[in-house]
A and B are shown apart, each in its own frame.
Chain A
Amino acid sequence: MTLQHYLVISAILFTLGIFAVLTRRNAISILMGIELILNSCNLNFAAFSRFMTPPEDISGQIIAIFGIVLAAAEAAVFLAIILAIYREFGSIRPNEVDTLKG
């Protein structure tokens, strides 16, 4: 396995995540796309940490762990916002949610 194997997998995951964010019409599907993007990013950190630094340096893995923590916080806030939107509009389709509180 070379570094490029991991980078190609990560690039595919990132692209699929971008595609989901751009085209899905359900806020939860968009959240799944964002999770794919964050996963590809963490995979890149771990891969570069394995191949580009000396073996005893594991900073990249620690950054990936921080990334996982941020993803968890982001998912919690995202779903809280989705629930609030659902209660207000009765729908979680992003293009039906077009009113701000004035």
Chain B
Amino acid sequence: MEFTLKTFIFYGFALMTVASALIVVTVRNIVHAAFSLMVTLFGVAGLYVFLQADFLAATQVIVYVGGILVLILFGVMMTSERFDMPIQVKGHIERGQLFLGGVIALALLMLLLTVIANTPAWKNLTDDGTELPPTTARIGELILNGQFLLPFEVVSVLLLVALIGAALISRKEVRD
């Protein structure tokens, strides 16, 4: 593969995503982890752009960075008393948990990489660089007037249920 500007930017986004995700899972301060998560989400949005999924990239930035991340930061603020929790607490049980979690995660990564490297159907599928038409109009057509109308309605009901449920769970208890 020749090393063009495009591949350079792609590897930049990939490195940004993976490195900041590594910071998210290792750093002690949870606020730093949240901001690192923001970089990860932007990196994934950049990868969506490389996959020519423009609407998906915009949705990723709006919903994740604009919504979920703010929600997480609010959660950090409202439970702030002990948010500065170190990942490695004293005692052999916690260290054992860290060790076991690392072993499981590493084994899982090895398994996934082996599968990815050895599945014949996934080999030699290269991005030929052809420019696809923008997807937004077609996504709207498929969701509102096509085969995805029913899932769209079901998901909107689910969002309503989640909204009501979140408000109900987090409200102050009313004594009667």
Per-residue CB contact flags for chain A residues 59-95 toward chain B (1 = under 8 Å, else 0) read 1011011101111111111011111101100111100
Q: Which residue of the partner chain, among B10, B102, B139, contacts A62 with CB atoms under 8 Å?
A: B139
Contact A50 B127 (CB under 8 A): yes
- Partner of A20 from B14, B25, B59, B163 at Cβ < 8 Å: B25
Q: Is the CB of B100 within 8 A of A32?
A: no
**Which residues of chain A from 15 to 51 have a CB within 8 Å of any chain B CB?**
15-20, 22-26, 28-29, 31-33, 35-36, 39, 42-43, 46-47, 49-51
A/B pair count, beta carbons within 8 Å = 230
Bound together, the chains give a CA A4 to CA B112 distance in angstroms of 11
Contact A24 B63 (CB under 8 A): no
Compute how far the CA of A51 lies from the CA of B123 in the bound complex, rounded to whole angstroms: 11
Q: In the complex, how many angstroms separate the beta carbon of A15 from the nearest chain B beta carbon?
A: 4
Taking a contact as CB atoms under 8 Å apart, the answer to whether A6 and B55 are in contact is no
Find out whether the CB atom of A46 lies under 8 angstroms from the CB atom of B56: yes
Contact check, B101 vs A62: say whether CB atoms are below 8 A apart.
Answer: no
Task: Say yes or no for A97: interface residue by CB 8 A criterion.
Answer: no
Is A73 in contact with B25, judged by CB distance below 8 angstroms? no
Contacts of A11 in B (CB 8 A): 109, 112-113, 116
> Which B residues are in CB contact (< 8 Å) with A35?
37, 41, 64, 68
12 intermolecular pairs with C-beta atoms under 8 Å apart: A4-B125, A6-B47, A8-B113, A9-B14, A13-B18, A23-B101, A32-B72, A35-B64, A46-B56, A69-B158, A72-B159, A76-B166
